[in-house]
Every structure is written in structure tokens, then in C-alpha cells.
Structure 1
Amino acid sequence: MFTGYALVVLAALLWGMIGPLSKYAFQAGMPPVEVAFWRAMLAWVLYAGHAVALRRVVIGGRDLALVAVFGVVCIFGLFGSYVLAVQEGGAALASVLLYTAPAWVALMAWKILDERLTASKLAAVAATILGVAGISLGGGAGGDLSTGAVFFGLLSGVTYALYYIFGKAVLARHATPTVFLYALPVGAACMLPFFDFGPRPPSAWISCAVLAACSTYGAYSLYYAGLRRIEASRAAVIATIEPVVAALLAFSFFGESFTPLGYAGSGLILAAVLMTILGGRRACT
């Protein structure tokens, strides 16, 4: 069991590097959406090799259409909005707003999957709304916070939530490498109109390579390996260290910080994550 916890912790640490690594690529002159593009395509090479090694490269017609939609919404939508949130508001803010996802999952599952909207889920949604308000009013370093930072941060949370909704329909029937074999190039293709290719310094390519290999392919592989050893609810709780890691790295390398009200809002969002997870766990016992 200890091995399962360790694997999930490692995955969360790698996910926490996404914002800082993206910011390094921006500083090297690579546009945000191009960073998302290369993250997707370089990870696709690894997933394609994995799918071939498993001999699971075929998806049926109906599921293929769902995977294409998954690529547009959850690859283009999530990868693109997250890097734009990092650019607009910093790595720490982007990671915290990404974790509004469990509240959106609760609402979407209620409307789309006919799941019950329990008191704990409603409390989590309310805490998320208050948390976002606290961050918006408190601001980041210096008290400045753009509308774009909040918009793209919340959009990343919504598209991350849709990952779970699509997962109910697609990921339950196909191996993860098989799904990403088709979804990643679809999402990457949607990004092409939003940037121009050009010469980039080696530091930008190194950042993208680490994002693809470690924070995408590696992190998901470790997380799913951990899930085979421990309960999903426990894994989800452990994964909430991701925004903490991102905030610490952003403070250490870029001097990013929140005001006290911003930290209070961040705490409410993380509390909402725990309420959603623990409430779901009680419903299953």
C-alpha cells in the first residue's frame, strides 16, 4: 500500500511542475499555445509507443467520435486554457483555479449523469464559489489580478472536470494510451491557428520535453499505477498536493504570492476538493 501512496505523490509532484515549466518556456520566447501544442505532440509520441507495445491501437467508430470530442474539449480546452491561465495570472493561481474541477464535476454529473446532488456536494460548490471570490478580490502579488487570469483558470477547471465526464464514456472501455493515441493529435490540431512556428531557444524545447515526458505521460502513468494499489478516493485526496507544490515552486522561482484573502480563497477551494472526495467516499460505504 505504501508503494501506491508514493506513486500518487510522485504524480502530483510532476503535475505541480506544469505551471513553472510552462512559465520558463514563455520566458524563453515560446507562445503559450505553442507550449501546449508541443506538450501534446511530444506526449503523443510516448503514448503511441505505449499503445503499440500493448497492441491496443484500434477504437470503434462510435467511440472514435467520442475520443475526437475528448481531444477538442479536454486536450485543446484544458492544455490551452491552463497555459493561458499561467501566462495571465501565474503558476500558483492557475493551479488553484484548476482545482475548482471537483465542484464542476458534481454539477455536471447531476445534470448529465443524473447523479444525486447531495448536501456535501452543494457545500463544496458553495466553498468553491467563495474561494474564487476570495482569490479574485484578494489578488496575487501586489494585489493585481486580471479578468483573463480568472477566466482561463476557471475554464481549465471546467475542461478538467469534463475529462471525468468523458472518462465515464470512453476511458472505462479503452486503455489510456489508446485513447490518447487519437485524442492528443486532435487537440493539438485545434491549437494550430493560435500561434506561428518559429525558432525557439533550447531552454524552451527542454521545458516542453519535460512537460510531455514527466508532467503528462509520466504523471498519468504513475497515477494510474498508484490507483491499482490504493482506493481512488485516497488517491484523489493525495493528488490535491498538486496546487501546493505549484504554489511553492512559483514562490521559490518567480516570487509569486497571494494576499491573505487570496490564501483564504485558495484554502476554501482545497477544502471543497476534500469535501467532494470524502462525501463521495461516504456515499460508497
Structure 2
Amino acid sequence: MKKAIPILFIALSASLWGIIAIFVRKLTEAGFTPMEIVTIRVVTAAILLGIIGGIKYPAQMKIKIFDIKLFIGTGICSIVLFNWCYFTAINQMNLSLAVILLYTAPAFVTILSYLLLKEKMDQTKILAVIATIVGCVLVAGVNLNAAASIRPIGILTGLGAGFGYALYTIFGKFALRKYSTFTVTLYTFFIASITLLPVTRLWDKWSRLVSGDVLLYGIGLGLFPTVIAYLLYTKGLEKVEGSKASIIATVEPVVATILSVFLYEEGFGFIQAIGSIVILLSVLIINRSKKSNRKIYNKKASI
């Protein structure tokens, strides 16, 4: 049961990422641009984590200056890069195609984990990665007319989003060798905040930020699909291989799609249902293989 908890943490974190549209739509209606919303997200998260750390984990707020490169990796190379590339891709192509390119992340994580983290590469992982990408294609929907009009720069920025998304898992794994889940999450959003604030000049909209519903949705965005989600994901990374974690996290588009059906009455057809099943099956396959490998190892050890 204990071995299933990290997997559950990652699945829960992905589910929380899947509800982000609730907050983003409200903040968009309030007049904020996509990158301003990202800034609201990371700054609110950094403030909340700073308060929690000051009260409960003061010892975990200390890091060595030399290790700041790890959090530049998670904060700038991942959070800032993937959001910038993703929103740029959305402006250059159909949304569904941008989503598909974003979810090339498990492929990037699997390759980088093999090269940098020395994780094993096997047929089951490769099959699971392919299945998740196919599943995301089906969930997002394929518009061939839109695909025909994509420019190369659109593909590059879309793949950049997937690559940036993947880097949190890679840099997070390295950071967790030295620091706690809380420390990694705190400095990720602190670095992202001090990078994005001067770029977006969010303080120019201060009066709008602190008004009624906007303040509540801003705090909600920083708390649920950010602080709680990233703490859970990073905690799960302590015990789960990066490549497997990224595959499990692809339940996010499934949750987002189901949410859109119930809250926004958007369409959910047969193709989307098949895609959701494919993603969930790939998650089951990757975790089943882990159990099978453990049984084989135990048998060998007992001989």
C-alpha cells in the first residue's frame, strides 16, 4: 500500500492541474493576459509557500547559493519556458494541436531520464509513452485542416512547451537529492516569480488584482493547481522514476476534458472517450510493469 502512495500523489497532482481552467477562464474574463495569469499563479504560490515555510518549515527555507542553478532549472527552464512556449503555440495554431505538442513531455522525460538519471529504458516504457501521446491526440481532437496550416515555428514552440514541461521532472529529480519536497517547490516558484514580475509588470493592475472575485480566483489558482499540486507531484518524484511520473501525469487532460463536459457543457465524443481510456491504460501498464519487475527480482533473490 505504501508503494502506491507516491503514484497516488502524482495522479492527484495531475488531477489538480486538470482543474486549472476554472481559474484561468475567470481571470481571463477579468482582463488578464495569459502571461499575466501565469505570473499571478507563480507569485501567489511563492507567497503562500513563503508563509507556510516561515511558520512550519523555517529550516527548509535555507539553500546553498551554488545550488540555485537547480531552481533556475525548475523555475525558469521549466515553469517560465513551458508557459511562454505553450501560450505562444496557442497563438500560432489550433488549441488542440498545441495541447498535443505539450504532451510530448513524457517522451522527453523518458529520453532525458535515460541519458541523465540513468533510468532503465524498456519496451513497456516506450509503449506507454506512445500510448499516452496517442491518447492525448484523441482527447484533444485532430483537426487536419488546422494541421495543414501549421508553420514550422509553431511546431518548434509547441515542442518547446513539451520540453519545458518535461524539465521540471528532470531538474526536480536532481534537486530532491539535496533538498526536501517543500524546499524544491518553494524555490521553483520564487525564481519563476522574480523572473516574470518585471516582464509582465503585474503591479500596474494592482487595483484589479485585489478586487473581490479576482483575488479569490487568484489565490485559488496559486493554491490548488499550483502549491498543492506541485507539492504532491514533487513528493511523488521522491519514490517514482521520472519517466513513469510523467506518464502518470497525463491523466491531466482526461480530468480537464471531463471537467469541461460537466462545467462548460463542451462536447465529449466517442474519440475523446477512447483517448481517455488509452491514457488510463498506459498508466496502468507502466505501474503494472513495476510490480512485475519487483516480483521477478524477489524470485531471483530467493533462489
The answer on 1:106 being equivalent to 2:116 is: no
Match of 2:73 in 1: 69
2:139/2:257 contact within 8 Å kept:
no
CA distance in 2 between counterparts of 1:16 and 1:82 reads 16
CA distance in 2 between counterparts of 1:7 and 1:65 reads 26
Q: 2:224 aligns with which of 214, 217, 235?
A: 214
Q: 1:25 aligns with which of 19, 23, 27?
A: 27
* Structure 1 residue 238: Cα displacement: 7.2
Q: Which moved more, 1:176-185 or 1:262-271?
A: 262-271
CA distance in 1 between counterparts of 2:89 and 2:136 reads 14
Match of 1:182 in 2: 187
Match of 1:195 in 2: 200
Partner of 2:176: helix, strand, or coil? coil
CA distance in 2 between counterparts of 1:46 and 1:31 reads 22
CA distance in 1 between counterparts of 2:136 and 2:15 reads 23
> TM-score scaled to structure 2, two decimals?
0.70
Deviations 1:148-199 (A, max 9, x none): 9977665443323221211221023212222233321321233346535343
Match of 1:248 in 2: 258
1:284–1:156 CA distance, 2 compared to 1 (3 A): farther
Identity, in percent, stands at 31
Q: 1:16 aligns with which of 15, 18, 21?
A: 18
CA distance in 2 between counterparts of 1:102 and 1:168 reads 15
Uncovered stretches (5+) of structure 2, i.e. residues with no partner: 296-303
1:156–1:264 CA distance, 2 compared to 1 (3 A): farther
1:36/1:80 contact within 8 Å kept:
no
> TM-score scaled to structure 1, two decimals?
0.74
CA distance in 2 between counterparts of 1:42 and 1:149 reads 30
Partner of 2:31: helix, strand, or coil? coil
Superposition pairs for residues 143-162 of structure 1, below 5 Å?
147=150, 154-162=159-167
Q: CA RMSD in A?
A: 4.2
* Structure 1 residue 282: Cα displacement: 3.9
1:9/1:239 contact within 8 Å kept:
yes
1:103/1:124 contact within 8 Å kept:
no
- The number of aligned residues is 279
Match of 1:36 in 2: 38
Match of 2:48 in 1: 46
Counterpart amino acid of residue 211 in structure 1 = L
1:76–1:224 CA distance, 2 compared to 1 (3 A): closer
Superposition pairs for residues 256-275 of structure 1, below 5 Å?
256-257=266-267, 261=271, 264-265=274-275, 267-275=277-285
Superposition pairs for residues 105-144 of structure 1, below 5 Å?
105-131=109-135, 138-139=142-143
Counterpart amino acid of residue 173 in structure 1 = K
CA distance in 2 between counterparts of 1:67 and 1:95 reads 26
* Structure 1 residue 79: Cα displacement: 4.3
1:134/1:261 contact within 8 Å kept:
yes
Partner of 1:170: helix, strand, or coil? helix
Counterpart amino acid of residue 22 in structure 2 = P
* Structure 1 residue 104: Cα displacement: 2.2
